[in-house]
Amino acid sequence: MSRAVRVVERYIYELYNDGQIALVDEICGDPMIRHSAGSTTALTRAEQRSRIQHDLAAHDPKFTVVTLVGDDEHASLTWNAQRLRNGERLCGIEIFRVSGAGVITDVWNSNYFEGEWS
């Protein structure tokens, strides 16, 4: 299994699904660049922790991996999630860049969509 895939698995399962917020300091870059269509946002580790804590408290999302493939630098993730607070189901695709030190430096996000990948 590639380094990038291992790091993204930890991001999804340990950080989000298990709520291990302290893991941000180990696997997220400082800054971590989030790419959206037409814009980028650089988040410090403190900002990343705050963003994830807010998401967990507001929605209690639980992710499942549909596909996760990559090499030592990039991982492509297709996911489904359920927001346990309201039952909403979302899906998305993200591309991660992981540095040689094993931290996520960049994430490219599409919009999230209601429903699930099959």
Answer yes or no: are the C-beta atoms of 63 and 79 closer than 8 Å. yes
pTM, to two decimals: 0.95
Query: What does the pLDDT average to over 18-28?
Result: 98
Q: Which CATH architecture has domain 3-114?
A: Roll (3.10)
Name beta bridge partners: 44: none
State the Cα–Cα distance between residues 105 and 74, nearest whole angstrom: 10
Answer yes or no: are the C-beta atoms of 43 and 30 closer than 8 Å. no
pLDDT > 90? residue 110? no
Best CA proximity match to 35, nearest among 87, 83, 93: 93
Q: For residue range 5-18, list pLDDT tens digits in order.
A: 999 999 999 999 99
Please report, for the chain, the start and end positions of each structural domain, with discontinuous segments joined by +: 3-114
pLDDT of residue 34: 97
pLDDT of residue 78: 98
pLDDT > 90? residue 51? yes
Provide the greatest CA pair distance for the chain.
39
Q: For residue range 65-94, list pLDDT tens digits in order.
A: 999 999 999 999 999 999 999 999 999 999
